[in-house]
Structure 1
Amino acid sequence: MTSPLDDAMKRLDAALGLLEASVSRRLDAEKRKGSLETELQLMQDDRSRLAEELDGALTQIKRYEVATDDVGQRVQLAILAVQNVLSQAGQLELEEG
Protein backbone atom coordinates (compact mmCIF):
# COMPACT_ATOMS: atom_id res chain seq x y z
CA MET A 1 0.00 0.00 0.00
CA THR A 2 1.33 3.41 -0.96
CA SER A 3 1.09 6.36 1.27
CA PRO A 4 -0.97 9.42 0.35
CA LEU A 5 2.28 11.37 0.19
CA ASP A 6 3.70 8.98 -2.42
CA ASP A 7 0.49 9.27 -4.48
CA ALA A 8 0.63 13.06 -4.26
CA MET A 9 4.30 13.04 -5.33
CA LYS A 10 3.48 10.84 -8.36
CA ARG A 11 0.63 13.14 -9.37
CA LEU A 12 2.85 16.20 -8.90
CA ASP A 13 5.61 14.56 -10.95
CA ALA A 14 3.12 13.73 -13.74
CA ALA A 15 1.72 17.27 -13.65
CA LEU A 16 5.22 18.73 -13.87
CA GLY A 17 5.96 16.47 -16.83
CA LEU A 18 2.84 17.69 -18.59
CA LEU A 19 3.74 21.29 -17.79
CA GLU A 20 7.27 20.84 -19.17
CA ALA A 21 5.89 19.28 -22.34
CA SER A 22 3.41 22.12 -22.70
CA VAL A 23 6.11 24.76 -22.21
CA SER A 24 8.33 22.98 -24.72
CA ARG A 25 5.54 22.91 -27.32
CA ARG A 26 4.83 26.57 -26.67
CA LEU A 27 8.48 27.52 -27.13
CA ASP A 28 8.66 25.50 -30.36
CA ALA A 29 5.52 27.24 -31.60
CA GLU A 30 7.02 30.65 -30.81
CA LYS A 31 10.22 29.72 -32.67
CA ARG A 32 8.20 28.60 -35.70
CA LYS A 33 6.13 31.77 -35.51
CA GLY A 34 9.29 33.86 -35.45
CA SER A 35 10.67 31.93 -38.40
CA LEU A 36 7.43 32.36 -40.32
CA GLU A 37 7.36 36.08 -39.58
CA THR A 38 10.96 36.39 -40.75
CA GLU A 39 10.17 34.41 -43.89
CA LEU A 40 7.08 36.53 -44.53
CA GLN A 41 9.12 39.72 -44.18
CA LEU A 42 11.72 38.37 -46.62
CA MET A 43 8.97 37.48 -49.08
CA GLN A 44 7.45 40.95 -48.75
CA ASP A 45 10.87 42.51 -49.34
CA ASP A 46 11.34 40.33 -52.43
CA ARG A 47 7.88 41.26 -53.67
CA SER A 48 8.64 44.98 -53.28
CA ARG A 49 11.97 44.60 -55.06
CA LEU A 50 10.37 42.63 -57.90
CA ALA A 51 7.57 45.20 -58.22
CA GLU A 52 10.15 47.98 -58.57
CA GLU A 53 12.08 45.97 -61.17
CA LEU A 54 8.85 45.29 -63.07
CA ASP A 55 7.94 48.98 -63.05
CA GLY A 56 11.40 49.82 -64.39
CA ALA A 57 11.13 47.17 -67.10
CA LEU A 58 7.67 48.41 -68.13
CA THR A 59 8.96 51.98 -68.35
CA GLN A 60 11.87 50.81 -70.49
CA ILE A 61 9.51 48.82 -72.75
CA LYS A 62 7.35 51.91 -73.24
CA ARG A 63 10.43 53.92 -74.23
CA TYR A 64 11.43 51.21 -76.70
CA GLU A 65 7.91 51.18 -78.17
CA VAL A 66 8.03 54.96 -78.68
CA ALA A 67 11.47 54.71 -80.27
CA THR A 68 10.33 51.81 -82.47
CA ASP A 69 7.30 53.77 -83.64
CA ASP A 70 9.53 56.75 -84.44
CA VAL A 71 11.96 54.57 -86.40
CA GLY A 72 9.05 52.94 -88.22
CA GLN A 73 7.71 56.33 -89.28
CA ARG A 74 11.13 57.43 -90.48
CA VAL A 75 11.57 54.24 -92.49
CA GLN A 76 8.15 54.78 -94.08
CA LEU A 77 9.14 58.34 -95.01
CA ALA A 78 12.42 57.08 -96.45
CA ILE A 79 10.59 54.41 -98.49
CA LEU A 80 8.20 57.06 -99.86
CA ALA A 81 11.10 59.35 -100.71
CA VAL A 82 12.93 56.54 -102.54
CA GLN A 83 9.74 55.55 -104.39
CA ASN A 84 9.20 59.20 -105.34
CA VAL A 85 12.76 59.51 -106.64
CA LEU A 86 12.44 56.27 -108.59
CA SER A 87 9.09 57.37 -109.98
CA GLN A 88 10.51 60.72 -111.09
CA ALA A 89 13.54 58.97 -112.60
CA GLY A 90 11.22 56.65 -114.51
CA GLN A 91 9.21 59.59 -115.85
CA LEU A 92 12.40 61.34 -116.97
CA GLU A 93 13.42 58.20 -118.90
CA LEU A 94 10.00 58.10 -120.56
CA GLU A 95 10.19 61.77 -121.51
CA GLU A 96 13.74 61.44 -122.87
CA GLY A 97 13.04 58.23 -124.77
Structure 2
Amino acid sequence: MAGPPDPGDVDEAVFDVVERIPPGRVSTYGAIGRLVGIGPRRVARALSAGGAAVPWYRVVRADGTCAEPVRVEQLGLLATEGVPVRGGRVDLAVVAWP
Protein backbone atom coordinates (compact mmCIF):
# COMPACT_ATOMS: atom_id res chain seq x y z
CA MET A 1 0.00 0.00 0.00
CA ALA A 2 1.49 3.32 -1.06
CA GLY A 3 1.61 6.17 1.42
CA PRO A 4 1.63 9.87 0.65
CA PRO A 5 4.38 11.07 -1.68
CA ASP A 6 7.61 12.16 -0.08
CA PRO A 7 7.60 15.99 0.19
CA GLY A 8 11.12 16.11 -1.25
CA ASP A 9 9.97 14.13 -4.28
CA VAL A 10 7.09 16.56 -4.80
CA ASP A 11 9.46 19.52 -4.57
CA GLU A 12 11.81 17.91 -7.10
CA ALA A 13 8.89 17.30 -9.47
CA VAL A 14 7.97 21.00 -9.21
CA PHE A 15 11.58 22.07 -9.82
CA ASP A 16 11.85 19.75 -12.84
CA VAL A 17 8.80 21.35 -14.47
CA VAL A 18 9.86 24.92 -13.64
CA GLU A 19 13.27 24.28 -15.20
CA ARG A 20 11.50 23.46 -18.48
CA ILE A 21 9.82 26.89 -18.77
CA PRO A 22 11.67 28.62 -21.62
CA PRO A 23 13.15 32.10 -21.19
CA GLY A 24 10.60 34.76 -22.05
CA ARG A 25 7.68 32.52 -21.10
CA VAL A 26 5.82 32.09 -17.80
CA SER A 27 3.55 29.58 -16.16
CA THR A 28 1.16 29.74 -13.23
CA TYR A 29 1.20 27.95 -9.91
CA GLY A 30 -1.97 26.15 -11.02
CA ALA A 31 -0.56 25.02 -14.37
CA ILE A 32 2.58 23.67 -12.70
CA GLY A 33 0.40 21.97 -10.09
CA ARG A 34 -1.72 20.27 -12.76
CA LEU A 35 1.42 18.93 -14.46
CA VAL A 36 2.76 17.57 -11.15
CA GLY A 37 -0.57 16.48 -9.65
CA ILE A 38 -0.69 18.90 -6.70
CA GLY A 39 -2.41 22.14 -5.79
CA PRO A 40 -1.09 25.61 -6.58
CA ARG A 41 -0.33 26.41 -2.94
CA ARG A 42 1.91 23.35 -2.73
CA VAL A 43 3.76 24.60 -5.82
CA ALA A 44 4.27 27.98 -4.15
CA ARG A 45 5.51 26.31 -0.97
CA ALA A 46 8.06 24.24 -2.90
CA LEU A 47 9.38 27.29 -4.73
CA SER A 48 9.56 29.49 -1.64
CA ALA A 49 11.34 26.79 0.35
CA GLY A 50 13.91 25.67 -2.20
CA GLY A 51 13.33 27.09 -5.64
CA ALA A 52 16.32 29.43 -5.76
CA ALA A 53 18.20 27.07 -8.10
CA VAL A 54 15.43 27.12 -10.72
CA PRO A 55 13.84 30.06 -12.60
CA TRP A 56 11.15 30.54 -9.94
CA TYR A 57 10.40 34.01 -11.28
CA ARG A 58 8.78 32.45 -14.37
CA VAL A 59 5.86 31.26 -12.20
CA VAL A 60 3.09 33.77 -11.44
CA ARG A 61 -0.43 33.79 -10.05
CA ALA A 62 -3.36 32.83 -12.29
CA ASP A 63 -4.18 36.52 -12.83
CA GLY A 64 -0.63 37.28 -13.98
CA THR A 65 0.44 39.08 -10.81
CA CYS A 66 3.49 38.37 -8.69
CA ALA A 67 3.56 37.60 -4.97
CA GLU A 68 4.16 40.82 -3.05
CA PRO A 69 7.31 39.79 -1.15
CA VAL A 70 9.17 39.15 -4.45
CA ARG A 71 7.18 41.37 -6.82
CA VAL A 72 9.87 43.94 -7.63
CA GLU A 73 12.62 41.34 -8.09
CA GLN A 74 10.37 39.05 -10.11
CA LEU A 75 9.16 41.78 -12.46
CA GLY A 76 12.75 42.90 -12.97
CA LEU A 77 13.91 39.40 -13.87
CA LEU A 78 10.96 38.90 -16.22
CA ALA A 79 11.69 42.25 -17.88
CA THR A 80 15.24 41.10 -18.69
CA GLU A 81 13.66 38.22 -20.63
CA GLY A 82 11.28 40.50 -22.51
CA VAL A 83 8.12 39.27 -20.79
CA PRO A 84 5.29 41.75 -21.45
CA VAL A 85 3.81 43.28 -18.30
CA ARG A 86 0.89 45.70 -18.26
CA GLY A 87 -0.34 47.33 -15.08
CA GLY A 88 1.79 45.03 -12.95
CA ARG A 89 0.42 41.87 -14.60
CA VAL A 90 2.16 39.51 -16.97
CA ASP A 91 0.26 39.18 -20.25
CA LEU A 92 -0.47 35.46 -19.97
CA ALA A 93 -2.34 35.44 -23.28
CA VAL A 94 0.99 36.13 -24.98
CA VAL A 95 3.57 34.22 -22.91
CA ALA A 96 1.80 31.43 -21.01
CA TRP A 97 3.53 28.04 -20.94
CA PRO A 98 2.77 25.18 -21.47
Interval containing the TM-score (normalised by the shorter chain): under 0.3
Greater RCO (CA < 8 Å, at least 6 residues apart)? 2
Give 1 or 2: higher helix fraction: 1
Q: TM-score, normalised on structure 2?
A: 0.19
Q: TM-score, normalised by structure 1?
A: 0.19
- In proportion to residue count, which structure has more strand? 2
